[in-house]
Amino acid sequence: MMIGMQSEILSGLIGFGGAIVGAGSAIWASGLQRKHEARQAQEGREAVHHDAAYNDAVQAVLKTKDLFRRKWRDEQEENWEHQLFAELDRLRLAALTFRSPTLRHRLEEGTETLRSWRGVTHTRPHRADRPRLVNRTVEHLLTVLGDYRRGEEIPQPPQEYTDARDAVLQYVEEQEDIALHFREPNA
């Protein structure tokens, strides 16, 4: 009788232990499931935010292209430059969202080049190249965004883009030197 009772107690303990292990496994699996669902929800929110930023970037570049097109055709409004800067700010803000450092850098660089669009051809005697170089800068930004969207490698900038960027950098440096010269006290 003692053996039968021990056997029942042992069976009960084994059953109880199995129940504890099963409950622990269920709680652990439930926790993993919640973490997985939370991660998926976060990834979904990031994807929606990323897509919205991408669409903002494309729309800003297309609007910038349209603003310059109207400028070259003398169809711009009074607040043309204000509209241009608003679109370039929108592009820069969207660029901050992208994880790709190459894409962010290229969009920020293109934004600064277009922001200083007057300096695109300042080193050349004939400024008729300005529309072409500005348009090539805008087209390069569209190409970069398209390649990024397709998951392709971001291309090296074309020579005209590099020329425009370098001219703007030189223009900005010269403007800063001029401003510094006028701020220094005359001795």
Average pLDDT over residues 124-139: 77
Q: Considering the domain boundaries, does residue 2 fall inside one?
A: no
Residue bearing tokens 């960027």 = 165
Q: CATH number of the domain that 85 lies in?
A: 1.20.120
Residue bearing tokens 């074309």 = 158
Q: Considering the domain boundaries, does residue 34 fall inside one?
A: no
User: pLDDT band for position 124 (50/70/90)?
Assistant: low
CA triple 102-105-106, angle to 5 deg = 85
- Confidence at residue 187, expressed as pLDDT on a 0 to 100 scale: 45
Q: Considering the domain boundaries, does residue 15 fall inside one?
A: no
Q: Considering the domain boundaries, does residue 41 fall inside one?
A: no
Span 2-12, pLDDT tens digits: 776 777 777 77
Spatial contact of 92 and 61, defined as CB atoms under 8 Å apart: no
Q: Considering the domain boundaries, does residue 6 fall inside one?
A: no
CA 184 – CA 163 distance, rounded (Å): 32
Spatial contact of 103 and 123, defined as CB atoms under 8 Å apart: no
pTM above 0.85, yes or no: no
Rg, Å, the chain Cα set: 31
Q: Which structural domain range is residue 154 located in? A: 49-183
Question: CB under 8 Å to 130, separation ≥6 — which residues?
Answer: 117, 120, 121
Number of domains in the chain: 1
Span 89-99, pLDDT tens digits: 999 999 999 98
Q: Considering the domain boundaries, does residue 61 fall inside one?
A: yes
Span 42-55, pLDDT tens digits: 777 777 787 888 99
Q: Considering the domain boundaries, does residue 20 fall inside one?
A: no
Q: Considering the domain boundaries, does residue 136 fall inside one?
A: yes
User: pLDDT band for position 118 (50/70/90)?
Assistant: confident
DSSP track, 55-67: HHHHHHHHHHHHH
